[in-house]
Amino acid sequence: MTHQWFPLTDRWRSAEAYTTNRRRVEDMALPSVMVLPLLVVVAAGLYYIYNEAMRLMSKSLVRNKVVVITDAVSRSGTESSHLFHKGGARLVLCGTSWDQLESLYNALTDDADPRDTFAPKLVILDFSNMDSMEDVVAEVVECYGCVDVLIFNSSMKLRSPAQSVSLNLDRNVMDVNYFGPSTLAKGVLPAMISRRSGHIVLINSIQGRLAFPFRSSYAASKHAAQAFFDCLRAEVEQYGIVVSTISHTFINASDPLPVDGPALKPNRLTAFFTKQLTHGVRPSVLANEIMQTVNRKRKEVVLAHPFPRMALYFRSLLPSFLFAVLAAGVKDSVLDE
């Protein structure tokens, strides 16, 4: 058996070449580690540019469209009215008070250019008076002969133990939150179906998907509205009609309270949980979400902070745990009282 011996010089050169090649491989591998962060940064940048472009295009997307807004004099309704009016939409503003509607009309038209915008039309609409709904539906449709976007923004809130709510009050809440919107939607559907286009937007509460104690009537009405418009979405999709629902936490129309000094700062953990549970949605944020929902034809939107979102998952995956937490909260509130 013969052995082949390599000169020491050749072996040294081979080792040096191996080391050089290894360094080259390591130098090439370094940029590959940075690929993922770069992709994330690029994706975030593209998403930001897309959102900004959609926001700037929102005016042209609603121009000349007939947009009906119920309870337009509320904070979120007023914010939405200003957005759609600036976008050149032909507004039909509904509310229960003629004085408030006229005040909103003046606020919209005073600073507007009549060459770029349309003067809104005003309609008295009170969902608690169901006997007037037939006339109201006819008046809304006759304003422009059709309805492109119907936004249900009205709502009646009630917080009380179930046994303390009378049957008449239950019916009143159901009229405003369920029977009224469903009746108006049925009234404008024939025109939408004949035109093979239209968009119905229900501004619903997250309590249409998750019930909280002391809000039995309110949550029941919101659940009913959610179910109705979920069914309607499937029924009218064949006609090119879009049905959207926006489920939000409560509307926080008040200004944030200032924090002065350590006396107003509780335990950090307690403060964090309190903020998550009580921080509502600003009217301007909701109005922007309504505009984006109309522009992008989104079918379902949940506008809530992480804690309410987690509660939705617990309701489906761990209902017993959620029920125990809610029951404990009721006991705590009784002790506080």
> pLDDT tens, 135-186?
999 999 999 999 999 999 988 888 888 888 899 999 999 999 999 999 999 9
What is the separation, in whole angstroms, between the first and last Cα of the chain?
A: 100
Size of the chain in residues = 337
Beta carbons within 8 Å of 28's beta carbon, 6+ residues apart: none
Cα distance between residue 60 and residue 190, in whole Å? 26
Instruction: Determine contact, residues 243/150, Cβ cutoff 8 Å.
Output: no
Q: Bigger pLDDT: 9 or 237?
A: 237
Record the pTM: 0.74
Cα distance between residue 302 and residue 310, in whole Å? 12
Cα distance between residue 41 and residue 50, in whole Å? 14
Beta carbons within 8 Å of 295's beta carbon, 6+ residues apart: 54, 57, 58, 61, 62
Determine the pLDDT at residue 263: 41
| Burial class of residue 234, CB neighbours in 10 A (0-12, 13-18, 19+) | exposed
At 73, is the pLDDT very low, low, confident or very high (cuts 50, 70, 90)? Answer: very high
Q: Which residues are tagged catalytic?
A: 218
Least confident of 93-97, 218-222, 244-248, 329-333: 329-333
Half-sphere exposure of 307 (CA within 13 A, CB side): 11
Beta carbons within 8 Å of 284's beta carbon, 6+ residues apart: 79
What is the dihedral angle through the alpha carbons of 180, 183, 185, 189, rounded to the nearest 10 degrees?
-170
Percent of the chain exceeding pLDDT 70 equals: 75
Contacts 24+ apart (CB under 8 A), 102-106: 103/73, 104/72, 104/73, 104/78
